[in-house]
Amino acid sequence: MRTGAAIVLDTLESLGVETVFGYPGGAIMPLYDALYDHRITHVLVRHEAAAVFAASGFARSTGRPGVCIATSGPGATNLITGIVDAQMDNVPVIALTGQVRTTVMGTDAFQEVDVAAITHQVTKRNIVVRSIDQIEPALRAAFRLATGERPGPVLVDLPTDVLRAFEEEQRQATVTQASPVRECPRADAQSLDAAVAALQGAKRPLLIIGGGARWSGATEVFRALAAHIGAPVASTLHGLGCADPGDPAFLGMVGMHGWKRANLAVANADVIFALGMRFDDRVTGDPTKFAPNAHTIVHADIDKAEFNKVVRAQITLHGDLRETLAALDHRLARVTLPSFEEWCNAACAREEQLPRDDTRHDHLSATDFLDALFAALPQDAIVATDVGQHQMWAAQRVRASHPQHFLTSGGLGSMGFGLPAAIGAQIAHPGRMVVAVVGDGGFQMSMAELATLRRHELPVKIILLDNRNLGMVRQWQELFYSGRYSATALPDNPEFTTIARAYGIESRLVDNANAIDAAIARMLESPGPMLLHCACFPHENVWPIIPSGKSVDDLMEALPA
């Protein structure tokens, strides 16, 4: 007879799970005991937050659910930030948490926390399992919910006595293979026809692709549609990689730190196709001034709750993005479109390079290093970033050939994400190069995961851009708080190369421009994990920037000399 813990693992295996990320503790111990003899691989992290971020990195880079495990109480609450991150970025994560015995639930037992109540607002659903016969149905429901329609996290709370219990012999059944069912609403014909008509009447159309492309698998059909239309293309942060980076019609990222030409195209377009995006405030700025010349906005999304939430759309296409784009392309093949070549050429010619600060020749420029890095990386490399200036510099420069190749915490902007996400991606893609681009602030929130790299022999490459500041906050203090630098300087940063070596990981200091090429070449040749500690100019800023709540009219390209 199987225990509840064995049923958990058997069900996970039947759902295609091969790897889980976690950290053991008292209430979840029966599950770890069952793992001892099971085929599922467990990746031991050094903090529960890293478990959920690693599961997220696995999911973002594969499109399949990532699974993380924690015990009750502090173990479960340490998952909360990563769960919120997954909810905001629509990542299918399954969080399994231990819970105190059912007989003492509600009594403030040792390490008891009502994690279901805490996560009610930040999951697609949470399920408290109260008997052994509920385990398998709960897990199958969790996977359906996490991957169905708009993806997101689901938490399953497992009391320790349920995990220890034995199923009755007559209740035993063969666990059958079952794939999660993905619900797919379809855009109606009338709305699709209206979208085609809007494009036929357009003079300056713009396509903006968002993160929905990652989860619907819409990359190839989007590229075909964009080529068919011949209009300029822009991307949100999470849409990066959907447009071919070599496409001359690709303008780059829109929004606060987007390319100037992309934001100007938004301002000048008369018809905008917003595809799989939610009009986040970092994209729109002041929504009343967003796309002021657009008489028609066509919004395609799988979640109808997004329609008219921030920006009013004249045409809404409710459905799976891949199917919606395929249906649009099919209709467009039967009509004649005007040529948008002149508009496209004008939009793409506005800007050739990003503005930057003069960092002086005696300091290492973070942007110079990233330019060299992305020029040297293999086309199929996966890049995971932490959050801050380096994140935006990377997003501006990355040449991702697929949206699953660029992983970043967007909606929540959670520091500490980069290294664990890279670990999850490397586990999912053992033969690929995975690079974590991190800052000195966020890296110190998760650098204990160097032990995870070493233990599991994961060849993740870490680019640590160390400007001895909480750079993005410092930049805002410089621009918007009269240079009153409060609690952002990090002059006491440790010797990061020494720390990496203490974990048995090769490391190298890069502190001048002449060392960039050799350091990157050595990193690419290294068969194992490696850390490049880049000691950067402390006051380099991210340009351009549209101040929060403002419009492209307020775009700043650099401070006066």
Residue 239 is assigned to a structural domain of this protein = yes
246 shares a domain with 198: yes
**Banded model confidence at residue 149, pLDDT cuts 50, 70, 90:** confident
Angle, CA of 179, 116 and 21, to the nearest 5°: 55
Separation of CA 56 from chain center:
8
Q: Annotate 292-328 with DSSP letters as a single string.
A: TT-SEEEEEES-GGGTTSSS--SEEEES-HHHHHHHH
CB 442 within 8 A of CB 409: no
- The residue among 315, 348, 381 that closes a domain is 348
Share of the chain above pLDDT 90, in %: 92
In the three-class reduction of DSSP (H, G, I as helix; E, B as strand; rest coil), residue 438 is classed as strand
434 shares a domain with 514: yes
pLDDT in tens, 302-312: 999 999 999 99
544 shares a domain with 434: yes
pLDDT of 174 > 50? The answer is no
CA distances from 54 to 68, 140, 319, 424 (A): 8, 22, 29, 4
pLDDT in tens, 502-520: 999 999 999 999 999 999 9
Residue 9's φ and ψ, nearest 5 degrees, are: -70, -40
* Cα gap 402→379, rounded to integer Å: 10
Report CA Rg, the chain.
24
300 shares a domain with 405: no
490 shares a domain with 459: yes
Model confidence, pTM: 0.95
At 30, the amino acid letter reads P
- The residue among 316, 348, 380 that closes a domain is 348
Q: Is the peptide bond before 544 cis (omega within 30 degrees of 0)?
A: yes
240 shares a domain with 211: yes
Residue 482 is assigned to a structural domain of this protein = yes
Residue 41's φ and ψ, nearest 5 degrees, are: -85, 135
CB atoms within 10 A of CB 114: 14
Q: Mention every residue, 6+ apart, whose C-beta is less than 8 A from residue 516.
A: 364, 368, 369, 372, 510
Residue 357 is assigned to a structural domain of this protein = no
66 shares a domain with 13: yes
Q: What is the pLDDT of residue 559?
A: 78
| E strand map for 104-218 | 125-128, 154-159, 205-209
Residue 360 is assigned to a structural domain of this protein = no
pLDDT in tens, 315-350: 999 999 999 999 999 999 999 999 999 999 999 987
pLDDT in tens, 93-130: 999 999 999 999 999 999 999 999 999 999 999 999 99
**Banded model confidence at residue 180, pLDDT cuts 50, 70, 90:** very low
Q: What is the pLDDT of residue 356?
A: 84
The parent domain of residue 26 ranges over 4-171
pLDDT of 403 > 90? The answer is yes
Arithmetic mean of pLDDT over the chain: 95
CA trace torsion 315, 320, 322, 325 (10° rounding): -20
Q: What is the pLDDT of residue 173?
A: 44
CA distances from 125 to 65, 93, 121, 460 (A): 15, 11, 9, 33
CB 219 within 8 A of CB 403: yes
The domain that holds 10 is classified in CATH as 3.40.50.970
Q: Token pair of 255, please?
A: 């929004």
Q: Which of these, 221, 196, 209, 226, lies nearest to 315 by C-alpha position?
A: 196
376 shares a domain with 321: no
195 shares a domain with 109: no
Across 194-219, b (16+ Cβ under 10 Å) vs e yields bbbebbeebebbbbbbbbbbbbbebb
Residue 354 is assigned to a structural domain of this protein = no
The domain that holds 195 is classified in CATH as 3.40.50.1220
410 shares a domain with 336: no
**Banded model confidence at residue 385, pLDDT cuts 50, 70, 90:** very high
472 shares a domain with 398: yes
Total of domains in the chain: 3
pLDDT of 179 > 60? The answer is no
CB 215 within 8 A of CB 184: no
* Cα gap 119→116, rounded to integer Å: 5
Mean pLDDT over residues 386-406, rounded?
A: 97
pLDDT in tens, 181-219: 555 789 999 999 999 999 999 999 999 999 999 999 999
Q: What is the pLDDT of residue 169?
A: 53
* Cα gap 4→11, rounded to integer Å: 11
pLDDT of 419 > 90? The answer is yes
- The residue among 171, 198, 232 that closes a domain is 171
